[in-house]
Structure 1
Amino acid sequence: MPRKHLIASGINKKQQTQAKLGNKLAKEIKAAAKVGGPNPEANPRLKAAIDKALQNNLSKESIEKNINGSIKDPSSLTDAEYEGYGPNGLRIIIKTLSDNDNRTISSLRGYFSKLKGEIAKPNSVKNSFIYGGEIIISNKDLTEDDLMEKILLSLEKIEVTDNDEPIQETNQHEDCFQIIVMPKYFYKIRQELETLGLKIIESEIKYIPTDYVDLNKEDYARLERFLDSCNEDDDVQWVISNFGEVIE
């Protein structure tokens, strides 16, 4: 998997203000706790939400407050994933969490229209992504052989179901290694790798592109405006695309 994925995955974060991001993270924690209960060990969605919140510097106090607040919150939120196309066949997935689906879909149609794209049928876009746990590790003072040795050591420490392949893919980049693991082994493998002394730069269970679409400058500018609109929309939790690079 080319390094362009790591560059593209950062676009959304750079454009999102910390305040907006904090609100969206808190909203996901509250929704996850309300649906699956307040214990993250028994609620995978809440565990993932807390993990992402901590990585983005949301305080433990705020996390606890939102978990506890979910019990008393009378509001009802519906989560959904929308798929769509952008210029040059760009593929996009959008996660929403909303109390008004009609408002949400109306807004998304407007954003896609300005992008010169359209909302797609369910599961028509997701075949360009895999859903997995991504672990990004610093390669400072770490060779590929060292990494593979530590991965094997980590696998010896966890229980693996027959026929499962916990490690889906490993890729070496200029300044990091990328490991993609099956979601159900994500936390255990990450914990073991940390115990073995590896420096984890970033980690998350997410949709990861399997192929990429490059855009010219004009279309890329439209994509940036599209992301700005999505990031400012309180109903939108995250956006991911298979954007690759800007071409001249």
Structure 2
Amino acid sequence: MSGHNKWSTIKQKKGKNDAARAKVFTKIGRELMVAIRDGGSADPNVNSKLRDCIAKAKAANVPNDNIERIIKKAQGGEAADYEAVTYEGYGPSGVAVIVEALTDNRNRTAGEVRHYFDKFGGNMGTPGCVGFMFAKKGVLIIEREDLEKDEDTVMEAALEAGAADFEADEDIFTIYTEPEDFGAVRDDLQAQGYEFASAEIEQVPSTYTKIDDPDTQVQMQKMLDMFEDNDDIQNVWHNWEDAE
């Protein structure tokens, strides 16, 4: 997803109704529980994966009370059955798609993911079939609105903090990091007072695919919406250039 299109997606998510926001909170809650289980600690100061998840939750406007409640539940062992599974495939017009899930039933989730691909003119492929088109990067997005700093100041702060790249457009600043530097760059910028509209490690495509046919665009968006509505699916990455 390009910067502008990704920003459109973030604004849509932040503007969703209460039921949709509750679904987002549920998904992030699952990530928090798994981070605690895998990291072996409910203390974000010693569990970097949990610290990253908390930052993602706050950027998604998950209330602090919810975060604290989830952490307490995770300490009770409620994340024990979830495992991370990644699926790859193609959407309409050959759009590359990566689906990341946390599931307690591999067969159920695989069947649902395959169904979504098939239903909307795509197909689920084998592991690695599109992964080579993406690279994992830390991505931090800062809104220009109400930020009393100019582009050069933000860019200098980001690069001094260890960022690998910086982009600016009309609405946002996008800061890219290597995955291993993500937490340090985010923490450094937070300490300087910067707030993030989005902060997470993403699968960033190296090339993009356009869909010119309006009906095919509708099919692609419906497929993405189906993925988004599934509680097991945490993230969907794709290289559709015209996603809104």
User: Which TM-score applies when normalising by structure 2?
Assistant: 0.84
The equivalent of 2:218 in structure 1 is: 221
Does the 8 A contact of 1:96 with 1:235 survive in 2? yes
* Number of residue pairs matched by the alignment: 236
Secondary structure of the 1:88 match is helix
What residue ranges of structure 1 are gaps of 5+ in the alignment? 156-165
**Larger fraction in strand:** 1
The equivalent of 1:240 in structure 2 is: 237
Q: Alignment identity in percent? A: 29
The equivalent of 1:46 in structure 2 is: 50
Alpha-carbon spacing, 1:59–1:196, altered in 2? closer, same or farther (3 Å)? closer
The equivalent of 1:10 in structure 2 is: 10
Q: Distance in 1 between matches of 2:233 and 2:31?
A: 11
1:190-241: CA deviation from partner (whole Å, max 9, x where unpaired): 3333444555443222112222111221122112221222222221112121
Equivalences for residues 129-208 of structure 1 within 5 A: 129-139=134-144, 142-152=149-159, 154-155=160-161, 166-198=162-194, 200-208=196-204
1:4: how far off?
4.2
The equivalent of 2:206 in structure 1 is: 210
Alignment RMSD:
2.7
The equivalent of 1:158 in structure 2 is: none
Q: Distance in 1 between matches of 2:195 and 2:11?
A: 23
User: Which TM-score applies when normalising by structure 1?
Assistant: 0.82
Alpha-carbon spacing, 1:175–1:109, altered in 2? closer, same or farther (3 Å)? same
1:94: how far off?
0.9
Alpha-carbon spacing, 1:32–1:235, altered in 2? closer, same or farther (3 Å)? same
1:146: how far off?
2.9
Alpha-carbon spacing, 1:245–1:26, altered in 2? closer, same or farther (3 Å)? same
What residue ranges of structure 2 are gaps of 5+ in the alignment? none
Q: Distance in 2 between matches of 1:114 and 1:214?
A: 20
1:126-173: CA deviation from partner (whole Å, max 9, x where unpaired): 222221111223446644433343335x34xxxxxxxxxx43222221
Alpha-carbon spacing, 1:244–1:8, altered in 2? closer, same or farther (3 Å)? farther
